[in-house]
Amino acid sequence: MTSANAPSRRSGEQDRGEGAGDWPVPPIGRIGQAGDVAAAAVFYSSDQAEFITGTTLLVDGGMTAGYLQRERSAR
50/71 Cα distance (integer angstroms):
34
Amino acid occupying residue 41: A
- Spatial separation of the C-alpha atoms in residues 24 and 19, rounded to whole Å: 9
Whole-structure pTM value: 0.56
Q: Is 26 in contact with 66 (CB distance < 8 Å)?
A: yes
Summarised one tens digit per residue, pLDDT across range 10-67 is: 444 454 444 545 778 888 899 899 999 999 999 999 999 999 998 898 999 998 887 6
Instruction: Express the helix, strand and coil content of the chain in percent, nearest 5 each.
Output: 40, 0, 60
Residue 1: pLDDT over 50: no
